[in-house]
Structure 1
């Protein structure tokens, strides 16, 4: 009889099921307020906002005062519980929180949004999931609505960041050391059937634009102010 050990399938939903903080560089209120301010600048108005992958609400609570209606969505109940605590502490009445993922969220919505945003979420979606998200989001946008993906990982700059290129103490010899450690981590992750790291997938701007154009969106790119290896993509309908 032939037997084989079958690896358990990894799930981001399971990974985040008990997490209570987002993956921000710093968790201080001062930093989060600055990060939110940058993102609000690129959101550039509107009255209704869908924040997909809102996590523990670190940025969500800064968005809420700027909109008449905000809906936060996440597939982690523990994260949503933390977001709910923040909303209650601020006594916000114009925000709803929904437990859902990129497939189920659309059945929970019955309004159009001026802005649909997701921060550091694209990395957890496959190209097929990303295309489906954009297609579904398009149907829930108001006439002049926009989709804004914040903090998409740029594969070129991410690797440079990993080996310490952006560090003030960067030394040329660290390229070799960093590359070796990176290979070992990748091999270990493969053997354990786990993601290489919490970052997930990286997407080049070219691929994002290719996917977005299939749903008739024009894409504008902006470099992130607070993460050297990330960029933002602002999607507007082609008129």
Structure 2
């Protein structure tokens, strides 16, 4: 991929909603419950890449203090609206990215999480993220990467193999579309896949182990081509 971070920042610059399968409150509520189950307690939480706060506002009742971080001002504007609407006084928002956030924090956390974000980081950037996060993690805390693109399942999802109406003709059509998308991206010097990088569970586990953590791999309930990396 060419110049990924600049492209991601440009892509999200004016967006006002996250990449959830559905924006319906019923779906977001269920998705948040699954993630809260894996977060498994704690009193303070840092949500990196919180986007428009769709999940953050569901986390709020379960924590004493929360900090939401994102590099998109438009996303944080939407998150701020949601927070005011629900009258959550325990959430602070910070405009920052994976490099600048660590110098802006004045406290440590029981949980540091990122949902649908790690796909925009390279292996080297994930390594640095875990190293930095470990310095802001309370004893017994967890780093949880939600919804990481699984390189074993994501290609199958892209060609429609998990669709209810999957068929040979539809799969061939999707394969053709993906090939054209890749060619177009190369010609325009854009990322081949706007959803970012896939990461093998063993790769993230190896990085976690390097920094003295264990990692548990859990399949996502609501995205068949994604998994959660629970690092503790």
User: What TM-score, normalized by structure 2, do the two folds share?
Assistant: 0.95
Secondary structure of the residue that 2:75 maps to in structure 1?
helix
Matches within 5 A, 1:63-212: 63-212=59-208
Partner of residue 57 from structure 2, selected from 56, 61, 65: 61
How far is 1:8 from its partner?
8.4
5+ residue gaps, structure 2, are: none
Of residues 18, 25, 31, the one that matches 1:22 is 18
Once superposed, what is the RMSD of the aligned Cα atoms?
1.4
**Pairing partner for 1:225 from 206, 221, 226:** 221
Aligned length, in residue pairs: 230
| SS, match of residue 77 in structure 2 | helix
Distance 2:133 2:92 in 1: 18
What is residue 3 of structure 1 aligned with on the other side?
none
Pick the structure with greater CA Rg. Answer: 1
Between 1:196-205 and 1:91-100, the stretch displaced more is 196-205
Q: Distance in 2 between matches of 1:138 and 1:66?
A: 22
CA offset digits 1:14-41 (Å, max 9, x no partner): 2111000000000001100010000000
Q: In 1, distance between residues paired with 2:77 and 2:173?
A: 41
Q: Deviations over 1:188-231 (max 9, x none)?
A: 11111112233111101111112211111111011000001000
Q: Give the Cα separation in 1 of the matches to 2:198 and 2:46.
A: 23
Deviation at 1:182, TM superposition (A): 1.5
* SS across alignment from 1:115: strand
SS in 2 for 1:228: coil
In the TM superposition, structure 1's runs of 4+ consecutive aligned residues that sit over 2 Å from their partners are 7-11, 172-181
Q: Report the secondary structure of 1:11's partner residue.
A: helix
With the length of structure 1 as denominator, give the TM-score of the two structures: 0.93
- Mind listing any 5+ residue stretches in structure 1 that lack a counterpart? 1-6
Q: How many angstroms does 1:173 deviate by? A: 4.1
Deviations 1:57-106 (A, max 9, x none): 00000001100000000000000000000111111111100000000000
